[in-house]
Amino acid sequence: MLHTFGTWLNSTSLHAAMAGGYPWLWPACETIHFIGLAMLVGIVGMLDLRMIGMGKGIPIASLQHLMPWGVAGFILNAITGCLFFAGDPLQYMNNVAFWWKMAFIALAGVNVGAFYVTGLAARVDATGAGQDAPFGAKLVGATSLFLWVGVMYWGRMLPFIGSAF
């Protein structure tokens, strides 16, 4: 079924545009992808580092207010990532690094979902300057850092592992 989808996607005008129809499109998407990554990992990373105990002089609630920028970075990455995929879907689908990257993104989504659904985010917001975050928040923060570094690693390894580009 995935192969059929990839074959169909290869026949679309979106594929043609990304695969060379507009030579500036891929590098423009790369630039936007890196900006989105900086927004996402910069904001989420600050919050995660604060939750695990660094920068205790900063109230966590003040970092939580920056999360919309992190979400915007994720959205930019999701859009540009889909455009990259459209540029050569079969290449991505046959690359083990791509599947590891997708797994790490999915696990990061589960991690952040657990953070908000369990009410841990609300408890963390009450953590003032100089206070330690609850143990669960430290666990979520450390897991988040590991997963997002993993996403970056597997994304960078796309040309080098599996069927290289």
Averaged pLDDT, 135-143:
96
* pTM of the predicted model as reported, rounded to 2 decimal places: 0.91
**Hey, where are the domains in the chain?**
2-157
pLDDT of residue 155: 95
Is the pLDDT at 21 greater than 90? The verdict is no
For the chain, what is the mean pLDDT?
93
Tell me the pLDDT band of 79, cut-offs 50, 70 and 90: very high
Q: Sign of the C-alpha dihedral, residues 59, 62, 64, 67?
A: negative
What distances in angstroms separate CA 35 from CA 60, 100, 108, one per listed residue? 24, 22, 19
Is the pLDDT at 163 greater than 70? The verdict is no
Shortest CA distance to 134 belongs to which of 113, 115, 120?
Answer: 120
Averaged pLDDT, 100-108:
98
Q: Pseudo-torsion of CA 90, 97, 142, 111, nearest 10°?
A: 30
Is the pLDDT at 64 greater than 90? The verdict is no
